Amino acid sequence: MATCDVTGVEVGELNPSRRVLLGPGPSDVSDRVLRALAMPTIGHLDPEYLVIMTETCGLLRRVFQTENELTLAVSGTGSAGMEACVCNLIEPGDEMIVCVNGVFGGRMQDVAERCGADVHVLEVPWGEIFDSSAIGDFLKKHPKTKVVGIVHAETSTGAYQPLEEVSRVVHEAGALLLVDAVTSLGGMELKIDDWEIDACYSGTQKCLSCPPGLSPVTFSPAAAEVIDSRESKVQSWYLDMSMVRRYWGEERFYHHTAPINMTYALREALRVVVEEGLEDRVARHTLNHRALRAGLEAMGLVYIPKSSLTTLNAVSIPEGVDDARVRGQLLNDYGIEIGGGLGPFKGKAWRVGLMGSGSTRRNVSLVLGALESVLADEGVKLDRGAGVAACRSVYSAK
């Protein structure tokens, strides 16, 4: 094996281990998407690449379920999509309500404050969700609110936030609705146009099962009009949609060198979603979630959110069990990655993702069997085989 010496350290050929990625992201990437990623690199203004960009935008509209003209993939991960949405809609002094019930609502608040917004925070305990009437009452207290930001799928807690009624109260108050769909796009129902969502961002590495590196975003005509009528420059040059859209749109005006091979991968990942069909894909994620939940609860594990995502399962760690040791044993002995808790849930929660290519009956049975074995080693009293048996009963009854 060829090696090179870097300041006394030998660096050999790259050979990362194969893992079963069942954490909060990234998810497993299919060979089909990896092959697309390995296609020959061409120029970012090559006529062939411009066609690929157009096709990718069309596929994104299909998956977002929108006709929004301003729909594209931001060069950067989901956090870049968040910044793109916030910094394009917000000017210094604008009022924004941010709903915070976990890490990513808090991150949206931070981004909005950095953009100069006068941020009003509506907060509920981690793991809980927001009642639309509470949002409506909060809007009455802050009638000059320009944007309401909320997380559809809170990755840090596994909480699922219904949006249709929230959208209604936000628009009745004359505000725009901004949604974080990083852990729901391509795995859960998300209807941008039907639900009248004004701006939405996601990530490639979750339910789309594409490597991390791009962030799908979409803006409604109303949101695009807000961007077009700004009185000040967007805080970020790199994420300024008034320029980025000229590159992704018909004008093809150079803005930055897009990640060409990542666009290949996203295009192929979106083709996989469309071929499966959104309804069938959502049904698959729902069934596998139900089976996993039945198995985890049969093992005595308790879900943290009352309203759980089907793509991410957050459960409390049994008392006396060492979080890091369990996750380390799953990784080292079984090649399975699950996630630990964040913030106040650090050391108290596990997050098990069933997203995209990773949402399979095989993976449900695999993680239940492995976790049962590891918990038994930790001294947890459980009915051996109960978890797998419970999950099988769900599949048998489908």
pLDDT above 80 for 7:
no
Integer angstrom CA distances of residue 188 from 182, 283, 293? 11, 8, 16
Given a contact cutoff of 8 angstroms between Cβ atoms, the answer to whether 385 and 375 are in contact is: no
Which residue type does 253 have?
A: F
| 242 within some domain | yes
CATH of the domain at 353: 3.90.1150.10
Strand runs labelled E in 58-198: 70-75, 95-100, 118-123, 145-151, 153-154, 159-160, 176-180
pLDDT above 60 for 1:
no
Q: pLDDT band at 9, cuts 50/70/90?
A: confident
Residue 2: the pLDDT is: 63
pLDDT above 70 for 3:
no
219 and 330 in a common domain:
no
Burial of 384 (0-12, 13-18, 19+ CB in 10 A): exposed
Q: pLDDT band at 216, cuts 50/70/90?
A: very high
310 and 179 in a common domain:
no
Q: pLDDT band at 398, cuts 50/70/90?
A: confident
379 and 233 in a common domain:
no
The mean-pLDDT minimum among 2-16, 67-81, 179-193, 378-392 falls in 2-16
Whole-angstrom distance, CA of residue 128 vs CA of residue 159: 7
Residue 6: the pLDDT is: 66
| 23 within some domain | no
The 10 Å Cβ neighbour count of residue 203 is: 29
Residue (of 163, 161, 194, 364) closest to 278 by Cα position:
194
302 and 254 in a common domain:
no
131 and 52 in a common domain:
yes
Q: In the chain, what percentage of residues exceed pLDDT 70? A: 98
Instruction: Render pLDDT for 134-184 as a digit per residue (tens, 0 to 9).
Output: 999 999 999 999 999 999 999 999 999 999 999 999 999 999 999 999 999
Residue 317: the pLDDT is: 98
Residue 392 structural domain: 277-396
**Given 275, 305, 337, which residue is the final one in a domain?**
275
Instruction: Render pLDDT for 79-121 as a digit per residue (tens, 0 to 9).
Output: 999 999 999 999 999 999 999 999 999 999 999 999 999 999 9
Q: What is the mean pLDDT of residues 3-31?
A: 89
| 9 within some domain | no
Q: What is the mean pLDDT of residues 246-255?
A: 92
Strand runs labelled E in the chain: 4-6, 9-11, 20-21, 70-75, 95-100, 118-123, 145-151, 153-154, 159-160, 176-180, 199-201, 214-219, 312-316, 336-337, 339-340, 349-353
**Given 245, 275, 305, which residue is the final one in a domain?**
275
Does 26 sit behind a cis peptide bond, omega within 30 degrees of 0 on the bond before it?
A: yes
**Given 275, 295, 314, which residue is the final one in a domain?**
275
Structural domain count, the chain: 2
| 25 within some domain | no
CATH of the domain at 171: 3.40.640.10
The 10 Å Cβ neighbour count of residue 282 is: 20
| 86 within some domain | yes
The 10 Å Cβ neighbour count of residue 138 is: 19
242 and 94 in a common domain:
yes
Instruction: Render pLDDT for 254-299 as a digit per residue (tens, 0 to 9).
Output: 999 999 999 999 999 999 999 999 999 999 999 999 999 999 999 9
Residue 362: the pLDDT is: 98
The 10 Å Cβ neighbour count of residue 334 is: 17
The mean-pLDDT minimum among 223-232, 298-307, 349-358, 375-384 falls in 375-384
Q: What is the mean pLDDT of residues 237-246?
A: 97
291, two tokens: 């089976």
245 and 186 in a common domain:
yes
Residue 11: the pLDDT is: 87
263 and 373 in a common domain:
no
353 and 293 in a common domain:
yes
205 and 116 in a common domain:
yes
Residue 57: the pLDDT is: 98
Residue 8: the pLDDT is: 72
Which residue type does 13 have?
A: E
